[in-house]
Structure formats: structure tokens, C-alpha cells
Amino acid sequence: MTDLSQPAVQPAVQPAAQPAVQPTAGLDAQPGHSAANVPPPLWLLAELTYRCPLHCAFCYNPLDYTDHHRELSTAQWLDVLRDARALGAVQLGFSGGEPLVRDDLEVLVEEAHRLGFYTNLITSGVGLTEQRLGDLKAAGLDHIQLSFQDSTQELNDFLSSTRTFELKRRVAAALKRHGFPMVMNCVLHRYNLPHVDKIIEMALALGAEYLELANTQYYGWARENQAQLMPTREQLEEAEAVVARYRRTHDGRCKIFFVVPDYFETRPKRCMNGWGAVFLGVAPDGAALPCHAARGLPGLALPNVKDTPLREIWYRSDAFNRFRGLSWLKEPCRNCEEKEHDLGGCRCQAYLLTGDAANADPVCDKSPFHEHVVKVVQRAASASGTATMAAREQPILFRNDANSRRLAAAAREPGGGEHGA
Amino acid sequence: MNDSTRAESATEASTQSGSEAALPLTIAKPFRLQWEAAQNAHVLLYPEGMVKLNQSAGEILKRCDGTRGLDTLIAELEQAFNATGIGAEVRAFVADAHRRGWLE
């Protein structure tokens, strides 16, 4: 009891869509691990399925998700949960696709709760009936993150009273009745940034404890729709001002996160709190992911939980070691004084915008490719006045099976599947 | 939830030796405290997040189980760690924990 004057905690709260668990600097190395300096995973994201009733234009699932549709069985998922917990993971997200389309979700939640995970359900709300809410509560589910976005192909009516909107409102009320804490999540883009005040009012009215306003990250489907979704700097600044106003007046009731989009910054984010440092994702088919979007990186052989023990995947696989730590950094990161702060930024963004996943994240203005980012933002500004016309000329590509199969087939053609530079 | 009010009342309790110091301390929903062997630490879990606690914070919060008030908690800690004069620091931590919404 001598160190009460020291900070009691590591820096606390962060946005929910990012792996929210803190980096664990100062953790003792665990005896018996092959890589003595590697901390254990803390955050397991179980993507139970790619099936989803929604078709969001900003979905982060891989474009070719229809190529990976064979899902792990209940028994295989139970093994993943036990093995991840044994490694040290303590936060668990059930995600997808829509995890509620799996009818074994309650079984998985029950075992995860028994193992000591803090269990989070990340859902669109579609399929969250009174019956399932009761069963999930009984199984020990700790929290529900409910997304609000349009489920139809009419994105510009984002907040209009579509049937899904009403359904989500009913679900929000029901999950509060069942005593769940709620994170309300809303992905932001050009079409709904002007409605941020209404979105916040809705979160307050529905009793959300946390509101996560997540600006679109441009991977997967969002990357395909970047020209449509990219906001202007003015839109972002106005939305930030609205958020700041509500934080001043309503901070005690609802904690509001606003994740500033990378493209408008000059320094990258510390992606995933470090590659292979905190986050362990498992895709529906058992592929282990160092980041949500890692499936899109070429040349990264993702290990699979069906044939490789999770411990070996975390500590020994090439995929999880490829960008771990700092030794892989190239210039201008290698000798940069800020490298320990951002760890070179996002690998997916580096690949998509420079063609090499090992390059500096071009969001950084020290990157020789930063001009690519500036141009994307400039294009968004010049297109803002003619958004309606642009929408007509270049329709939004919705995330659905037909589009996925078409994109997957195109990527298999010689020279296909290349994006960015 | 009005954290600042709660924090003030916690501070008052610490300085007034009033009845509030005897009110039982309890971890607030949706937080959950548990020991994590892999991290060799107590952690405070909440929706999609975690706070790793140092030893002092862990020793205080694990006693906030609804069965004891602040004065009792301080007395217990002094006995458990064979220490005296830690009351002010514990009160400051508890006030901060109220402010962060960790305690009811």
C-alpha cells in the first residue's frame, strides 16, 4: 500500500470499435512462451458468421467473404473460447456478419461467461427477440452493442423511419428492459454526418450508456465506396463541434466517443494497439486475424484454428509476428522519434494506398505517399456540391452475396484484385 | 448518473467523519472487477474495455463488495498491510473512483 500516489490505472477509456483493451506495457513475460516478450492477447473477436441481413456499404468484412462461408462448428468455437481464455484473453466480442443468425450463440455465451470472459454482443439487432434477450441474459451476456444504420439500399435516408429503424428502436428499449448496458454504434460518413445531433438525441432517448460515433474506415466495402462516403473537412469539424457541445451538457448520462477519421490527420493511429499485441480475431471459417481487415493483405498466410493451436498462432505464426514490435519498420519510420507512439500506423492502409503493407501508413505526412491521402480528401471536397449527381454516376456498391461473388471472381483473374497505388 | 455530485459527497464523507463514511461501497454497473492471472493484476471490465489496476487500487476495489463502508475498509487495509496513516490516500482514490463511475 505504498504506491497510491502513482496513477492507479493505465489510460482508460477508448472507442469501442477499436480493440478497446489497453496495451499492457510492463507485463511480465510469461514463462514457457516461445516469444518471451510477447504479451498475451486480451481481446478476442469471434466473428461467428459472414451471414448478415444488412448490406451496409461501409462493412469491414472482406469483399470476397462468400469464398469463406464454411463456418466453424459449435464445438470448434467452444475450443477457441477455452484456448483464448487460457492464453489470457478477457474481453470477448461476438460479431460477424450478424452473430444472431447462429442459433448456438446462447451456448457460446454461456461457456464464455463460465470461463470468465466479459462478453459483448455486437449486433444489428435483427433477430434479437424477447426470447433471445432473456436467454442471453440467463447465459451471462454482459453487454450489447447495437448498431444503427440503414438496412436498405437507400443510404441517404439514413435516419428516416424505415422499418429497420423502428425495429432497432424497439430492440434498444427491450434490451434496456432486460437490464443490459448498451453501446450504441453509428458509422459516420458524408450522408449522416450532418445528423450527428439527431443521432446523439436518439442515443440519449434510448438510454445508451455509451455512444460510439465511428467515422468510416476505408477498408473492405467502404474502400469500394470511398468516393461516395468520404466526408468534407467542414462536415467533420461541424460534427465535432456538436459532439463537444453534448459532452459539455450531457457527459454524465452518455459517454460519447468520436473517432476522428485517419484521412484528415497528419499522424497515423496506433493500429490495433500494436500488431499481435492485444487483438486476436477469428473469422467465421477459423482464420486467425491480427486485425479485422488482415484478410485483405496479400502474402499474409493466415493460420487457421482448425489445424493450428491458438497458442502457436499467437506466439509463433508468421502472420502474427510479421508486423509485431518495431524491428520490421522501414524508413521513414525506422528512425522516426515517434515510432513507439504510432508503431507505423495501419498496415491495411499502407497496402491499399502505397501497394506495400510494410510501408509507413501514408496518413503520416512524413510518408512519401501522403499526397495520395491529401488527394482523396480534396476530391471529396470538390465532389461535395455534386454528391447527388455523383451518386447517380457511380452507384453505391452494397455488401451482398452477389456483389461479393462478382468481386471474388474478378480478384481471381490475372491482375485482378489490385487496389490503391 | 451525476458523477461530480457523487464525487463531492464522497469527499465530504471523507472529511466530515459523517454517516456517509459508513455507507457500503459497491462496484457500479456495468463494471466488473476480477483477478487476471495472465496479467498478474486485478482488472476492471466494462463494455468493450478494461482498466488494469495496480496493486493498491485492486486491494481497495476488491473490498468494495457492498459489505463495508469507507472507514471499515481503511481499517481493514491498515491491518492487512500492517500500515498506518493511509486513510487520506484511500479516500482520494475512492473519490476518484466515484468520479470515474466505478463505484455506486
What is the 3 state secondary structure string of chain B?
Answer: CCHHHHHHHHHHHHHHCCHHHHCCCEECCCCEEEEEHHHCEEEEEECCEEEEECHHHHHHHCCCECCCCHHHHHHHHHHHCCCCCCHHHHHHHHHHHHHCCCEC
> Given a cut of 80, is residue A8 above it in pLDDT?
no
User: Omega into B30 within 30° of 0, i.e. cis?
Assistant: yes
How far apart, in whole angstroms, are the C-alpha atoms of residue A186 and residue A149? Answer: 7
| Residue A224's pLDDT band (cuts 50, 70, 90) | confident
- Taking CA–CA distances from A182, the nearest residue in chain B reads B47
Question: How distant is the Cα of B18 from the closest Cα of chain A, in angstroms?
Answer: 24
A44 touches chain B (CB under 8 A): no
Question: What residues in A contact B53, CB-CB < 8 Å?
Answer: 8-9
The residue type found at B104 is E
| Residue A163's pLDDT band (cuts 50, 70, 90) | low
Highest mean pLDDT among A190-199, A295-304, B3-12: A295-304
Which of B36, B40, B50 is the mutation pick for testing A, counting most A CBs within 10 A? B50
Contact A21 B40 (CB under 8 A): no
How far apart, in whole angstroms, are the C-alpha atoms of residue A53 and residue A123? Answer: 11
> Given a cut of 90, is residue A104 above it in pLDDT?
yes
> Given a cut of 90, is residue A417 above it in pLDDT?
no
Q: Which three cell numbers stand for residue B49?
A: 474495455
Summarize pLDDT for A306-334 with one digit per residue, the tens: 999 999 999 999 999 999 999 999 999 99
Over its length of 104 residues, how does chain B's per-residue pLDDT go in tens digits?
333 333 333 333 344 444 566 789 999 989 999 999 999 999 999 998 999 999 999 999 999 999 999 999 999 999 999 988 999 999 999 999 999 999 99
Count how many pairs of residues, chain A against chain B, have C-beta atoms within 8 Å.
Answer: 107
Other Cβ atoms less than 10 A from the Cβ of B26: the count is 12
Nearest CB to A91; choose among B37, B45, B59: B45
Summarize pLDDT for A236-252 with one digit per residue, the tens: 999 999 999 999 888 67
Name the average pLDDT for chain A: 84
> Given a cut of 90, is residue A54 above it in pLDDT?
no
CB A242 within 8 A of CB A270: no
Grouping H, G, I as helix, E, B as strand and the rest as coil, residue A392 is helix
Contact B49 A12 (CB under 8 A): yes
Contact A9 B54 (CB under 8 A): yes
> Given a cut of 70, is residue A155 above it in pLDDT?
no
Which pLDDT does position A376 carry in this prediction?
86
Which pLDDT does position A210 carry in this prediction?
92
Segment among A69-78, A194-203, A360-369, A384-393 with least mean pLDDT: A384-393
Mean pLDDT of A82-104: 97
Contact A183 B36 (CB under 8 A): no
- Taking CA–CA distances from A6, the nearest residue in chain B reads B54
Segment among A40-44, A285-289, A305-309, B82-86 with least mean pLDDT: B82-86
| Residue A194's pLDDT band (cuts 50, 70, 90) | confident
Question: How distant is the Cα of A16 from the closest Cα of chain B, in angstroms?
Answer: 6
CA atoms within 13 A on the CB side of A140: 15
How far apart, in whole angstroms, are the C-alpha atoms of residue A160 and residue A154? Answer: 10
- Taking CA–CA distances from B86, the nearest residue in chain A reads A1
Which pLDDT does position A154 carry in this prediction?
53
The residue type found at A412 is R
> Given a cut of 80, is residue A57 above it in pLDDT?
yes
Which pLDDT does position A261 carry in this prediction?
84
CA dihedral A297, A300, A302, A303 (to 10 degrees): -170
Could you tell me the pTM of the whole model?
0.85
Highest mean pLDDT among A164-168, A261-265, A359-363: A359-363
Nearest CB to A90; choose among B1, B45, B54: B45
Which pLDDT does position A178 carry in this prediction?
96
Mean pLDDT of A372-399: 72
> Given a cut of 70, is residue A26 above it in pLDDT?
no
Contact A22 B50 (CB under 8 A): yes
CA dihedral B82, B85, B86, B87 (to 10 degrees): 120
Q: Which three cell numbers stand for residue A322?
A: 510479421
Q: What is the ipTM metric for this complex?
A: 0.82
Which pLDDT does position A396 carry in this prediction?
78
